[in-house]
Structure 1
Amino acid sequence: MPSVTYQPPLRWWNHAWRYVLVVAISAISWFEIAPWQWDHRRWWFWTDLGLGVFSLVLLAWRRRHPFAVAVVVNAVTVVSWSSGGPATLALVSLATRRRWREVLPVAALGLVAGLALERMNPVSTQDFAFTIPFVAVVVAATVAWGMFIGSRRELIATLRERAETAEVEQASRVAQARTAERSRIAREMHDVLAHRISLVTMHAGALAYRDDLSRDEVRTTAGIIQDNSHRAMVELREVLGVLRDGPGDSAPERPQPSASDLRALVDEARASGTRVDLWVGVELADVPDALGRTAYRVVQEGLTNARKHAADTLVSVTLTGGPADGLTIEVRNPLRVGEPVASAPRSGLGLAGLAERAELAGGTLTHEVSPAAEFVLETWLPWPT
């Protein structure tokens, strides 16, 4: 909520037309009495003119000290007709603040000063009974105009503040969406590349530490490394394609994996040398795409972890469930005895990303070492209706 003391900055032309209007009001007020002062009380003429100039100069501080300036200028109008214009502007400026404890005393002072000045007018021909309501109406109109200006300024300031707040909130939402998208892409890159790099690491380790391989075995292993390195580059390029700005800058995003691709994933792992036992207790073709995509990533990460930390063990993958019970995925492998010859870096990001995926899908993910010295990764995912 803007402050009631809000005052917008004024340009030079804003000041100019205000001062022109003030001088015009003073000239109209002083026009009738000025000739009489010149002819009969010349000292009053010069005093009136000096007080008018003094009041005009004092208006420059009306924003910094509105109450004080309004009191002084309206008090001066007791003996000075030429101060009528500055007194009007000072009262309007004070009324824009919309503080009744300040406006009412100054308005009362202006009313008394105006009546006193008119009472001393030696050339006035109007009945004083008419003068009282006339001056009261002028003061009331002046206060009302100032209150209207202050209300309008407050409204504009409120709308401006709301617009700025909306822009900040919009920028914040855009930043949050960008961060979320980057996190999604990072998870996708980890899921895609970790699988390929683990294959490359395993076979490269075999080439580095085994000297009993035949030429054909070396050629086959090198081919696997080359093929998976190429696939890693292709998949990385496809994932990063969504980061391009223009709609025509990147090729259409490749189809996302589904539950139907699980058998191909297991066959690929077997072809690379990993021993995998797959048991499927659900019709993969009936698994919804969103659920199948998450299930694919879970199995992929389970195979990747087994290949990184227990490459020579048997990995068991089990899928059970249905529309009524949800989908349960279990990836189990015995712990390896001793350290692997060459192991991939331990980041811990894969399981953390999977846990986040499962939570976003409304499911749960747990991983533990069983009493039988097996690493068990179990995920339950709800089956969308």
Structure 2
Amino acid sequence: MSQRNPWTAYGRCGLVLLLTAGAVQNGAVLADGRYLTPYTAAAVLCGAALLVRRGHWLIAPLLATVATGVWGWPLLPLLLLTLFDLAAHRRAAVAVGCGAAVLAVGAVAPAAASLWRPQQYGASLFLLLAVVGGLWMGNRRRLVGALNTQVEHLRIERELREESARAAERSRIAAEMHDVLAHRLSLIALHTGVLTTKADTLPAPVADRLTLLRTASTQALADLRDVLGTLRHPHTTAADAPPAPVLRDVHELIEQARTAGQQVDMDVQGRPEQAPAAHRLAVYRLLQEGLTNARKHAAGAPVSIRLDYGPPATLVEVTNSPGTPAPHTAPSGFGLVGLRERVSALGGHLDVGPHGSGTWRLAARIPHPVRLDHPIRTDQNGPRT
């Protein structure tokens, strides 16, 4: 629940003090300049009841109603403020009852204290305006509070959805890297296993190293499956999981887009083997997201793709000219949030937004990891770098 604005509270306190001082002054005028009168005591009590928020909420209305009914129009401003507060807090029935009681008492009160004189219907109009104004203000406060709460809920929901998209992308990266590394470790284990079958023709140290390498690769493969395999969907087994785009050729993705009617121009520099496997997976996802967004938001517009496998960095750039959104487009998800998480995890940077005169651009730069390529020397204690 939102806290009350302190400036609003200060303004109300100032208004109560001003109305109390006015009531005291009006009472003094009626008492021939004397301030120590029942008027003054009643005005101070009503003002204190309006300022002090402790105690029962009915105290201030009762004091204001009784004081105005007995002493008349000098205390009417404090009663109006009381009725306004009642109506603003959804107590309109009590406000109407207090106003009706004051008017009824004023009908039989002496002329000096009657609210029906000198204007017969003036006091009733003021009372009605106070109730109506309080109702309007209370409804406005509740509407603003509800809107603020709704905005806060939407903000929290969006943050949760973005976090979910990031977590899903991290899980997808883990699953894809699991498939790639598992394939390569399996090849290492397979070839070392074949070589160990010919251990009798090899020197004893080499045969021992091959056995150790085969055991280590098998254990690494098992550990990889245990650690990264758990990041898959908890209700989906490995057999039921959809195949990930592991090291798929991006040209296949471009051909699918052209078959769907997109005009795609592609410029490729370097060879995919120059980039790490994680970069190639990221390239596939970047092109997939860029082509999908172009189809959704600029249908029929030509798309230009520039791809550079490096080194020193893998560069991806997807641009499309302005176009019309596709009809019946599904609501935008959080694909870019996941891509940004993937590129950031690889130490790169993703830039998405307008570029030039209406052109939309998706560009990513992922630096290659630094490799320390030192020759391996061997001695009697084994290999060392």
Q: TM-score, normalised by structure 2?
A: 0.48
Greater relative contact order, per chain length (Cα 8 Å cut-off, separation 6+): 1
Instruction: Give the structure with higher Rg (CA).
Output: 1
| TM-score for the superposition, normalised by structure 1 | 0.48
